[in-house]
Amino acid sequence: MTLKFVDPASDVVGKSFQLTLPEVTGFPDFLVERTRYDAAIERNWTSRDKCQVWWKNEGEEDGSWWEGRILNVQAKSHEFPDSPWERYIVRYKSDPSETHQHSPWELYDADTQWEQPRLDDETREKLMSAFTKLEQSGNKAQDYYGVEKLRQVSHKSNFINRFPVPLSLETIRARLENNYYRSLEGMKHDIEVMLSNAESYCGRNVELTTRVRRLSEWFRRTLSSL
């Protein structure tokens, strides 16, 4: 996967790097979604707090919750006294003979509902309505934005195998319907990838390239109006 620094306060903002993530069952979570990290730090866990930890079953897709209690809070390393990394000592109810070190983002509070960030309902409904109108334009003979043509192309093996992420309008629409996007920026990124793939695939096909550029302008107008 490709990761990019987006924190404007960082000295490396805008830079990206490649990361190959192997199967890490049983290894502490070291790659954490930002909102989950912020929520975990804000929770401010203390000694005697009850918690839950999700453990994936080795060799399986499923897992289970382990209930426990925090026994102590201490830095794992004296070199980094303020680091949250594995600073919580937890004992599980079903395994009282051992203790385990956990980072705050691995702990869950059964009494607190943490909601995943997502597009607000109003924005999502506007986008769904816009997508419906866009798809309807593909049913007309002129197919002004190339919607129908791109739909056909997206199912071809030479398109699917050509790009690392062969996104299509159908995929983006489905993600929107299923609350996949946590932010408008995430959706914009998918749209940019889809349009870039389409232009690359069109090559010297002037007619289709023109339609893709019209589609790009349509997205620019639609997204800027939100």
For position 176, what pLDDT does the model report?
A: 94
Go through the chain and tell me how many residues it has. 226
Give the mean model confidence (pLDDT) for residues 153-178.
93
Q: Residue 213 has what pLDDT?
A: 95
When pLDDT is averaged across residues 81-95 and rounded to a whole number, the result is 94
Domains of the chain: 2-28+46-106 (no CATH), 121-224 (1.20.920.10)
- Res 140: pLDDT: 86
Q: How far is CA 193 from CA 14, 45, 180, 186, 197, in A?
A: 17, 40, 16, 11, 6
223 — pLDDT class (breaks 50, 70, 90): very high
Both tokens of 195, joined, read 């349009």
Q: Which of 87, 85, 82, 53 is nearest to 69 (CA)?
A: 53
Q: pTM of the entire structure?
A: 0.61
List, in order, residues 6 or more apart from 161 with CB less than 8 Å away.
none
| pLDDT score recorded for residue 157 | 94
Segment 60-82 shows an average pLDDT of 90
Assign 59 a pLDDT band (cuts: 50, 70, 90). low
Residues forming a β-bridge with 77? none
What pLDDT score was predicted for residue 183? 87
